[in-house]
Chain A
Amino acid sequence: MKKRRNIEALAFTVPALMILGVFVFYPLVRNIIYSFQSFTLSSVTKEWVGLKNYATLLSDKIILTCLKNNILYALISIVIQVGFGLVLAAVLEDVAFRKLAPTLRSIYFIPTVISMTVVCLLFDFVYNPQMGLLNSFLEMIGLESLTKIWLGSKKTAMYAVIAVSQWQSTGYVTMLFIVAIQKIPRDLYEAAEVDGASKIKRFFYITVPQVRQMFFVTMILTVSGAFTVFNEPYILTSGGPGTATMVLSLHMYQTGFVKNNMGYASTIAMLIFVITAVLSSVQFFSFGAEKEER
């Protein structure tokens, strides 16, 4: 019996492992090798350069800008998508919103299903300094002094780009939290209500601890998303003005496909991989440990 189960288990896992092996692990290993080589897309041979690419990585000033921007991206995404998303989900699940909730849920979710490219082009219009919605709106309500060249200034460009992602992804995270909240047994809330706990107290002492698992999922999603973000800066600013909105994956793309330096691009890819792997495992183990305690 046991043997049969082993065979069954194997039969089910081997295909998945093979697919993972071919499409994930093999390229990963190849990428590690590439990161020690120097070559272009059209070069016939690959030159082994040892740690040269890694030395370049350490002296590359743009990497610092990228890291700064990616970290900013991650922090703001955690606060807005995870933090604000959770609050939004709790509010939508509150009895007071029972009638409106389905409509609002759909509205918040709509940005998620729009293609990233469309969203970015849309925001290109929103941010347009002359006829853009944002500046026109500010002028309309008498805040002319606040109008800015959003994507053309070093100070605002990165925030403008980050805002687009928040607009798009918060609805998705909210949806995940709504699902988690709906799984919380109602009697917990009823008991708390009988005990006289306010809505805010119920949120902190029942909702937040109960959605901890989802918290972990959304944290991994947003943080790894923040460190691999590409579309928004690529379409909106291509890293400009100057290098103000450069992020790691955009730098990797430009190094590989514009500067045609695939070896160094692989090295940047390794950096991104290490960062996301470390962050994910830290979160994984810290949340995993908590789970066992319970």
Chain B
Amino acid sequence: MKMKRAMALALAAAMSLSLAACGGSDSGNQPAAGGNEAGANTSGGSAGGENQAAPAEGDKVVINFFHRWPNDPKNSMFNELIQQYMAENPNVTINMDCILNDQYKEKIRMVVSTDEVPDIFSSWSGTFAQEMIASGNVASLNDMYEADTEWSGKIAQASVDGFTFDGQIYGVPWSQDGKVFFYNKKIFADNNIQIPTTWNQFIGVLDTLKAAGYETPVVEGLSDSWAILHYLGTMNQRMVDPQVLAKDYDAATGEFTDPAYVEVLNKWQQLVSYMGDTCVAIDHETARNTYFATGEAPIMYLQLAEIPHIEKVIPEDFEYGFFNFPAFEEGKGDTKALTGAPEGFMISNKTKYPEECQKFLKWLVSKNGGEALTTKCGDISSVDGAVDETNALPAQLEAMDIIKYASFLAPWFDNACDASVYTVYSQGAQAIATGDETPESVMKQVQEAAASIH
């Protein structure tokens, strides 16, 4: 009995302690934060003289900034940039918060239509951007672009297009990316192979490589459904009439009855036959690091943003080049298009400080952030002239050129159409690779899925 009472007392003590601790930290935090602000305020006053851009003294500006890059090096890059900005603008406090991809998608979807929407948040282009805009809480930035053409002129137009809907620009592109075939230069030279520009030439190259002893002339990790979708998105764009494609990708009118879609999956079936048996059981990273980087597979369809990953795993004498997805002989789409998309930032129209948000974004998406993004993280910045030969890899500069000269950026498949459609597509394409489905049966399922969301 005594024991029990002692236990109860101890428990009660522990609980009240923990409660007190909560309260303590709360009340402790408040004055501390206040103290910080006061400190910032005084320094703001002194800096105000030098820095004309700073608004009137005592104007506390707190910007909530939410993005999807919690991993290093990006997280520390953002931290450094924000520290730098806050040092230059002492009246501004930027609260940065970040979580990774899928969780980010879930959270931003939940908060975007509420009052909790962050002032500045990152967004993909295409359907995801549209979904954000549909919440009614995303500010149109046309004025921002028009008011400062010196700044906006440097932002890659193809990427701004990804955030433009009905003539309204809703975002500032930050990074851009494109998907091209990376090839092993040495193997191509050894076997006297020319860069293919059409599908039949491409298949010819694969045959040559196979004959030369490369069991998997082209490789992909098909357990990653997004990797499949990247292929199918490009192939649909190259093959199908653009108007039909636009109609089918629209959730309200999608039918997917054009025979060209079946043809795309036939080509897919043809393509995966060159990828070896194991391709369905491995993921993209494994395929890249253990097949392409080792020279076992001479060709792989990769994102330009993967250049830094490739650089990390290849041996020193490994040389690689790029070529865009070849044209289908019977294709109706633009063959100069590049599959890829920008990612960028949006400003909420509920923010209390729209001008401060714009000012920060203009500062971030310029040489300041752009150079850091490309040199520290290896991503391709959307800012023209952010990097040059002195601080970027030659491959990155070539990549920037490829994006610059693409006729337009065709969005990733999983950004271009409804998830109900593309999940059926990726599952079906996977089953085609394992031999469990045919192109016709998959298209039938896609048609059903498209009809179900009308």
Contact = CB atoms under 8 A, between A and B. Distances in A.
Interface of A: 40-44, 56, 127-130, 149-154, 237-244, 254, 257-261
B68 to A, nearest CB: 15
Nearest to A150: B281
Given A40-B131, A240-B223, A241-B431, 12 more contacts: A40-B109, A41-B106, A41-B110, A42-B110, A129-B281, A151-B281, A152-B278, A154-B431, A238-B223, A242-B428, A257-B102, A261-B420
A259 B423 contact: yes
Contact of A153 (B105, B132, B222, B434): B434
A43 B434 contact: no
A259 B430 contact: no
Majority-rule SS of B interface residues: helix
Interface string B411-443: 000000011100100011011011011000000
A254 B430 contact: no
Contacts of A56: 452
A40 B113 CA distance: 11
Contacts, number: 93
Interface residues of B, number: 36
Interface in B104-154: 105-106, 109-110, 112-113, 131-132, 134-136
Contacts of A130: 278, 282, 290
B277 interface: yes
13 contacts: A43-B113, A130-B278, A130-B282, A149-B277, A238-B223, A240-B280, A241-B280, A241-B436, A242-B430, A242-B436, A243-B431, A254-B423, A257-B106
B269 interface: no
The 8 closest A-B pairs by CB, nearest first: A152-B281, A242-B431, A152-B280, A41-B109, A259-B419, A129-B278, A42-B109, A149-B281
Contacts of B282: 128-130, 152
B225 interface: yes
Contact of B430 (A40, A128, A150, A240): A240
Q: Which of B112, B113, B135 has the most CB of A within 10 A?
A: B113
Contacts of B279: 152
A39 to B, nearest CB: 11
Contacts of B427: 239-240, 242-243
B277 A129 contact: yes
B132 A42 contact: yes
Contacts of A242: 427-428, 430-431, 434, 436-437
